[in-house]
Amino acid sequence: MKQSGTILIIDDEEDILFSLKMLLKPAFSRVFVEQNPQHLPRLLEQYEPDVILLDLNFNKGDTSGKIGLEWLEKIKELRPQTQVVIITAHGEVEMVVAAMKLGATDFIEKPWRNEKLMATVKSALNVALLRQEVQHLQADNRQILEQLGSQIGEFVGEAPAMKEVYKTIEKVAKTDANVLITGENGTGKELAARELHRKSDRAGKIFIHVDLGAISETLFESELFGYVKGAFTDAHEDRIGKFEAANGGTLFLDEIGNLSLGLQSKLLYVLQNRKVVRVGSTKEIPIDIRLICATNSNLNSMVKEKTFREDLLYRINTIEIVMPPLRERIGDIRLIAKHYLALYAKKYRKPALSFEKEALDKLEKYTWRGNVRELRHAIERAVILSEAPKLQPGDFLLQPETEKSVFSPGNLKLEEIERNLVQKAVEVHQGNISKAAESLGLTRAALYRRLEKFGL
């Protein structure tokens, strides 16, 4: 099966062009040849090659390599994402060094060995495709950030605790200091991370969000560090990990308290050395990322219990941002409610919708265990189901005060409390696991484990 990719060969010797085309055509989907390098600008636009095999000398008797190096510079100027493999005569070490400094990916010596040449071209093509993947991720990320900006906007709240959060973000954003965001589920830790990225010097680069609670032990390394072809049964091609994908941008590791000690050690090694090694490889790849972590766990207590590495905590916790729970910023409930009403009224084409005063009073008196996330979901549901021009208290199906007694430690064991909460969430969301998991502040995988545990 041919590998997808476009190869362009530039050499003034017709025999070499013919030989290379016959060798490469069975292996790659598109192979083109050209004797005259003057046609390169047009060919770059016409073929959009992933890899170019470029000779260094084009005039008879000329062995300086000057013309080839000039065209190499031109290629990298016009189409920097194209990988260039130099074709060179044996012993032209200085020219090879010069070419590599100008951005060549690799080189092939004449006369070549077919196996070596094929491996070199495939490697260059893999580099090209991986970089294209990163560019696509960056483009997708910019689009997501734009959508989030229009949907969520900036933080909403004027409580003193939130003002402290704003102040810290302003101070820290422009630095590359590692930040740990702590707080209960639903308090807006991801939003804080995105705000740090948006206000940083890396704002134009990619933001990668990794939910560590959703990654199994066996997939951790391949997901975060990447892998090479043949590293394991299903590794049919090289693939970059989240660290490489975030290169130049921000990597947000959510639920970092869920990592086992073994995985913590692997993560610490990468953070200390600023290099990753893909699974199945020994090559170290430098990384340049801004690291932000988040957790709803008490990592200091976990350190005392020896379930979290102290040296890793120091590494990720240069600056800590504590997201306050909604019960500590009751005065913000009306502001947040009105913010999300405007958002969802527009989304569901009900622009005239507003609150009855009694509805806002009810929201303000309620204990929001799921914090801002729970409030947002309650408002979205009310907007969807509402038929009147104003939202009434009855539009908000909140947990009655009598049901809060399940949280009293004297009534039930901790495991029973957890079982009741899981069962209630699944019932409220009519079996929708994604929504039930989100309302509980869990990943889908974590909720499935609890459902299995409790036989629900």
CATH number for the domain spanning 206: value is 3.40.50.300
Rounded Cα–Cα distance for residues 440 and 426 (Å): 10
Examine the domain organization and report whether 88 and 236 are in the same domain: no
**Number of domains comprising the chain:** 3
Examine the domain organization and report whether 47 and 91 are in the same domain: yes
Give yes or no for a contact between 170 and 198, defined as CB atoms under 8 angstroms apart: no
Helices (H), ranges, 386-443: 414-428, 433-440
Residue 327 lies in a domain: no
Domain limits for position 265: 152-322
Examine the domain organization and report whether 183 and 282 are in the same domain: yes
For position 405, what pLDDT does the model report?
39
- pLDDT tens-digit map of 346-359: 999 998 899 999 99
Q: Of the given ranges (44-48, 153-157, 241-245), which has the lowest mean pLDDT?
A: 153-157
Does residue 40 carry a pLDDT above 50? yes
| 3 state DSSP class of 179 | strand
Examine the domain organization and report whether 158 and 281 are in the same domain: yes
Examine the domain organization and report whether 184 and 289 are in the same domain: yes
Examine the domain organization and report whether 107 and 164 are in the same domain: no
Examine the domain organization and report whether 267 and 161 are in the same domain: yes
Examine the domain organization and report whether 304 and 418 are in the same domain: no
**pLDDT, the chain, mean:** 87
Residue 372 lies in a domain: no
Examine the domain organization and report whether 9 and 124 are in the same domain: yes
Residue 183 lies in a domain: yes
Does residue 409 carry a pLDDT above 50? no
Residue 325 or residue 57, greater confidence: 325
- pLDDT tens-digit map of 287-339: 999 999 999 999 999 999 999 999 999 999 999 999 999 999 999 999 999 99
| 3 state DSSP class of 99 | helix
Does residue 393 carry a pLDDT above 80? yes
Give yes or no for a contact between 200 and 339, defined as CB atoms under 8 angstroms apart: no
Residue 409 or residue 422, greater confidence: 422
Rg, Å, the chain Cα set: 28
Neighbours of 230 (CB within 10 A): 11
Examine the domain organization and report whether 126 and 156 are in the same domain: no
Of the candidates 381, 376, 382, 383, the one whose C-alpha atom is nearest the C-alpha of residue 352 is: 383
Q: Please, which residues bridge with residue 9 across strands?
A: 33, 53
User: Per-residue pLDDT averaged across 407-428, rounded?
Assistant: 66
Of the candidates 208, 315, 297, 218, the one whose C-alpha atom is nearest the C-alpha of residue 258 is: 297
Listed residues 322, 353, 369: the one ending a domain: 322
Tokens of 415: 């495991």
Q: Taking the mean position of all CA atoms in its chain, how far away is CA 448? A: 24
Does residue 88 carry a pLDDT above 90? no
CATH number at residue 413: 1.10.10
Residues 6+ apart with CB under 8 A from 80: 103
